[in-house]
């Protein structure tokens, strides 16, 4: 799948570029010769180093709260993007318990502000709104969720993303289905991604790395919970494939085409948290202990999504299997823990992008 021909020379707006996924996406787009503007808050302390590695890839760097309607509108109008990748969000389940109002306002109102800005000042832009696999009404059974399934959410984070999907669908029907509006809007529902450079609180891979870096046992909250683990680059390749399809003749008039796509790994990558920890130990030895508590915040025990639609419509499939996903992730963290500099780590990221692309293009 040749992505560079679609994106080379294009103006791209990435919201949330100071975060984990946004930083990797920014670097990848830069490697394809894009002009990239970023719109986000300052990086969180754990993301500051990762951001330094991609900062030079930016043409413009706007530090702005996505909830500020007027400011977002001015930025979108000034950038005049060809593509918008909207990743700015409050992305953590546990944080949504601590601060539900900020979660709701950032994820729902922030998305509405962005779409309103695109509608008013960048109607040529093709916009990909990144939500999550947690937007489905999860019955926590052996069931694989498809894009047509009911939306919902037990926690405020999941509910905010389900509501975001509804808001995007309403904007589409109200404003973007007109033949006079060239730009298209689609949502991308990604799964549990891991990869180098994520140091967020209360996420399993950063928790593993923090413990191993100081020779401590890994404390695991939900060892039996299963997740569809995927490398961040595999997920991002889906977003990029979606953008390529949106500008192609295959998308047609778009009125009768899909407006939401799942991007997850193959079924064999659905593993328990304890499986993930043990796989990490294959290349970075350590120990772990069960730290589950019956009175802790609710987190889903099982969640799987189907990727048939992305396969059939976009021609997209994930590349790296579970062991390779974990190995590539640990490779970055071990280099960082061993004292690798920013340039060395950036080159490692670029080499991983190149490796995934070479498989994708084969």
Instruction: Kindly report, residue by residue over 104-155, the tens digit of the pLDDT.
Output: 999 999 999 999 999 998 989 999 999 999 999 988 777 899 999 999 988 9
At which residue do the structure tokens 């450079």 appear? 197
How remote is the C-alpha of 232 from its chain's centroid? Answer: 7
Instruction: Quote the pLDDT of residue 202.
Output: 78
Beta strands in 96-177, from DSSP E residues, in sequence order: 126-130, 144-145
Angle between the 20-31 and 342-361 helix axes, to the nearest 10 degrees?
70
Measured CA to CA, the distance from residue 97 to residue 153 in angstroms comes to: 13
Instruction: Quote the pLDDT of residue 242.
Output: 96
Domains of the chain, CATH where assigned: 4-361 (3.40.50.720)
Measured CA to CA, the distance from residue 181 to residue 171 in angstroms comes to: 12
Q: Per residue of the chain (362 residues), give pLDDT as tens.
A: 789 999 999 999 999 999 999 999 999 999 999 999 999 999 988 788 999 999 999 999 999 999 999 999 999 999 999 999 999 999 888 899 999 999 999 999 999 999 999 999 898 999 999 999 999 998 877 789 999 999 998 899 999 999 999 999 999 999 998 777 788 999 999 988 999 999 888 788 999 999 999 999 999 988 888 888 999 999 999 999 999 999 986 656 656 688 999 999 998 899 999 999 999 999 999 999 987 765 555 555 568 899 999 999 999 999 999 999 999 999 999 999 999 999 999 999 999 999 999 887 65
- With CA atoms as reference, report the closest residue to 260 among 317, 303, 306, 226: 306
Return the number of other C-beta atoms located less than 10 Å from residue 275's C-beta: 17
* Three-class SS state of 120: helix
Angle between the 273-281 and 322-337 helix axes, to the nearest 10 degrees?
60
Instruction: Quote the pLDDT of residue 129.
Output: 98
> Would you say 231 and 325 are in contact if contact means Cβ atoms under 8 Å apart?
yes
Measured CA to CA, the distance from residue 264 to residue 137 in angstroms comes to: 17
Measured CA to CA, the distance from residue 92 to residue 103 in angstroms comes to: 9
Full-model pTM: 0.94
Instruction: Quote the pLDDT of residue 181.
Output: 78
């Amino acid at each position: 799948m040749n992505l560079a021909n679609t994106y080379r020379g294009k103006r791209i707006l990435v919201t949330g570029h100071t975060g984990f996924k946004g930083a990797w996406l920014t670097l990848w787009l830069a490697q394809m010769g894009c002009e990239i503007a970023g719109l986000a808050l300052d990086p969180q302390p754990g993301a500051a180093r990762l951001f330094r590695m991609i900062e030079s890839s930016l043409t413009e760097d706007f530090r702005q709260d996505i909830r500020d309607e007027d400011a977002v509108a001015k930025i979108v109008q000034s950038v005049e993007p060809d593509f918008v990748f909207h990743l700015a969000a409050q992305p953590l389940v546990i944080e949504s318990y601590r601060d539900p109002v900020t979660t709701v306002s950032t994820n729902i109102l922030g998305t509405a502000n962005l779409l309103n800005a695109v509608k008013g000042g960048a109607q040529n832009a093709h916009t990909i709104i990144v939500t999550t696999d947690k937007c489905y009404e999860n019955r926590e059974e052996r069931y694989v969720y498809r894009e047509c399934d009911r939306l919902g959410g037990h926690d405020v984070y999941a509910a905010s993303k389900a509501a975001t999907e509804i808001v995007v669908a309403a904007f589409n029907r109200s404003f973007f289905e007109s033949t006079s509006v060239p730009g298209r809007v689609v949502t991308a529902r990604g799964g549990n991604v891991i990869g180098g450079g994520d140091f967020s609180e209360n996420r399993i891979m950063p928790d593993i790395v923090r413990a191993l870096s100081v020779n401590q046992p890994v404390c695991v909250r939900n060892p039996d919970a299963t997740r569809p683990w995927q490398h961040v680059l595999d997920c991002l390749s889906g977003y990029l494939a979606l953008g390529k399809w949106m500008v192609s003749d295959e998308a047609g008039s778009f009125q009768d085409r899909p407006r939401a796509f799942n991007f997850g790994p193959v079924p064999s990558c659905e593993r328990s948290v304890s499986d993930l920890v043990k796989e990490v130990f294959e290349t970075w030895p350590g120990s772990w202990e069960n730290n589950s508590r019956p009175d802790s915040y609710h987190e889903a025990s099982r969640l799987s999504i189907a990727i048939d639609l992305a396969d059939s419509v976009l021609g997209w499939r994930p590349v790296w299997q579970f062991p390779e996903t974990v190995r590539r992730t640990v490779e970055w963290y071990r280099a960082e823990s061993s004292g690798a500099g920013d340039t060395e780590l950036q080159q490692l990221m670029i080499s991983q992008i190149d490796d995934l692309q070479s498989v994708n293009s084969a």
